[in-house]
Structures are given as structure tokens and as C-alpha cells.
Chains A and B, each alone.
Chain A
Amino acid sequence: EDKVVQSPLSLVVHEGDTVTLNCSYEVTNFRSLLWYKQEKKAPTFLFMLTSSGIEKKSGRLSSILDKKELFSILNITATQTGDSAVYLCAVEALRMSGGSNYKLTFGKGTLLTVNP
């Protein structure tokens, strides 16, 4: 069974701090790893990672994947109160039934609270 584990489950920081969120996985037929931000309702897409060691950046957010050690990190620098959200990690992998049928397995998320 595919497994995605995020840590920590929750985190409280002050504005301006830098945070690192972790995601480890055990899946068969890995395809990609995705990060989403969820603020009370719809998760919004942040990054898709497919290759090891290549950092993806978007403003103060960055993420990297290690396919050998089976984990990814999401970094947020100079945090702001607007960064408060649940951050979801999901791994895309081939379904057991095979073919070209892929599924996303989600972790439980990390609840980040940024205090002013």
C-alpha cells in the first residue's frame, strides 16, 4: 500500500521565520510528487517535482525532491501571516491495476500557523 508521511503535523512560528516541511513516501512506480496549499477550502497547486536534486522556486517558497532517500522538503522563507494554511504533500504513482492509470496518495498535511 502506498504511503505518504508528513512532518511535523503542526507548526507555529512568528512572522519572518523560515520553516521546513517534510514529506517522506513509500510507493510503487513513483511518477511525481506534488505540494498543495489549503486555506480552509480548495487546495491550490504549488509544485510538481519529478527529478531528484532540482529545486523548484516560487517567490519565498521552494521545494526539492530526493528520490534515493524518498523524501521532499518544502521551504518557506520570511514567513508571513498569509502563509498560514495546511500544506499537503501528494505522490503520484501507477495504480496496482497497471496501464496508464495513476493515482495521488496524500499525506495528512502540516498545519502551519504564522503569528504576527
Chain B
Amino acid sequence: DAGVTQSPTHLIKTRGQQVTLRCSPKSGHDTVSWYQQALGQGPQFIFQYYEEEERQRGNFPDRFSGHQFPNYSSELNVNALLLGDSALYLCASSLVYTEAFFGQGTRLTVV
């Protein structure tokens, strides 16, 4: 079992650009959540996808959007990047009432 896999591992973008991050959940998991972890901080919840729909959303602007595919994999899109979007983006997968398994994250740097 490969666990939760995220790609790419590192990414550098310019202010104003758009970025797409990808996540493949642990085998058998149907729920994917995304978190943003700024340097020196705990992860913050962005949103969660289940059955290809956004089920919960944290306090993030509409520039942050996502998608879940029929195979349960997911994408996180961020438009109009700001310097403050630089962070480690973590994907977590789970089933109902199971613990969340996290990927190793994508380190996004906005310059």
C-alpha cells in the first residue's frame, strides 16, 4: 500500500500565477482533505471532498478551489498566487470514522 501520495514535492511559482497540486488517497479511502501549513505553524483546514463534492470548507478565499475525481484522487487549485500562499500543502485521506492519513506534502514557494 503506497499510502497517500502527493505531487509535485516542491514547486516554485511567481506571484499572480496559478498552481495545481495533486493527491492520490490511500487505497480504499473515499474522503480527501487539504491543509495548509505555514512555516512554524500547525496545519489549517482548507476543504474536504467526498463523493466528488466539497463537503466542508475552512476559512480560505475562493482563490482556493478543488476537485475530486471518480477514482477519489483530488486536486487543489490556487489562483492569483500571493507571497503569503507559500506553505506546505498537505493532503489527508480517510474513511468514515477512521483516522486521517497524511501525505508528505507539496512545498509551494511563491516569489
Q: Do A and B come from one complex?
A: no
